[in-house]
């Protein structure tokens, strides 16, 4: 039950991080995008430390799904993530942050004293 709730929390976290980042990346160009990508990196590292690869996969899947939805055109023709350099930087930066979290050595994340 505890792990199931963990996956739900990471899934909701992926949705929240994607939504907040998609809103905030334009706040202080280009620093808003940089800070939003740092937020993704921290959340992805948290997901990997908490529930290992499956946790990171859950977070990443929901993050990418929500980010994709925010790139779509709404009924009035507006988008949340614009197709410009800053929008592409936010999307690419989020993906790079997740990949960096995946490439970090396990020993660095949990230390020597934890046995799996």
Question: Which single residue is written with the structure tokens 């979290």?
Answer: 101
Structure tokens that stand for 44 in this block: 């992805």
Q: What is the pLDDT of residue 110?
A: 81
SS (H, E, C) 2-68: HHHHHHHHHHHHHHHHHHHHHHHCCCCCCHHHHHHHHHHHHHHHHHHHHHHHHHHHHHHHHHHHHHH
Q: What is the pLDDT of residue 33?
A: 96
Say whether the peptide bond before residue 30 is cis (omega within 30 degrees of 0): yes
Q: What is the pLDDT of residue 99?
A: 98
User: For the chain, how far is it from start to end, CA to CA, in angstroms?
Assistant: 19
Q: What is the pLDDT of residue 114?
A: 65
Asked if 78 and 23 count as a contact pair (C-beta separation under 8 A), the reply is no
Q: What is the pLDDT of residue 116?
A: 57
| Burial class of 64 by CB neighbour count within 10 A (0 to 12, 13 to 18, 19+) | middle
Kindly give the confidence (pLDDT) of every residue in the chain, 116 residues in length, as a single tens digit, with 9 standing for 90 and above.
778 999 999 999 999 999 999 999 999 999 999 999 999 999 999 999 999 999 999 999 999 999 999 999 989 989 999 999 999 999 999 999 999 999 999 888 887 776 65
* pTM for this prediction: 0.92
Structure tokens that stand for 74 in this block: 């709404």
């Amino acid at each position: 039950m505890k792990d199931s709730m963990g996956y739900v929390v990471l899934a909701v976290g992926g949705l929240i991080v994607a939504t907040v980042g998609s809103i905030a990346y334009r706040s202080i160009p280009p620093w808003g995008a940089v800070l939003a990508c740092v937020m993704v990196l921290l959340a992805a590292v948290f997901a990997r430390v908490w529930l290992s690869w499956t946790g990171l996969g859950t977070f990443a899947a929901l993050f990418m799904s929500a980010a994709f939805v925010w790139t779509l055109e709404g009924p009035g023709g507006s988008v949340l993530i614009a197709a410009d350099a800053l929008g592409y930087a936010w999307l690419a930066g989020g993906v790079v942050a997740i990949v960096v979290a995946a490439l970090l050595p396990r020993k660095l994340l949990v230390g020597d004293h934890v046995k799996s």
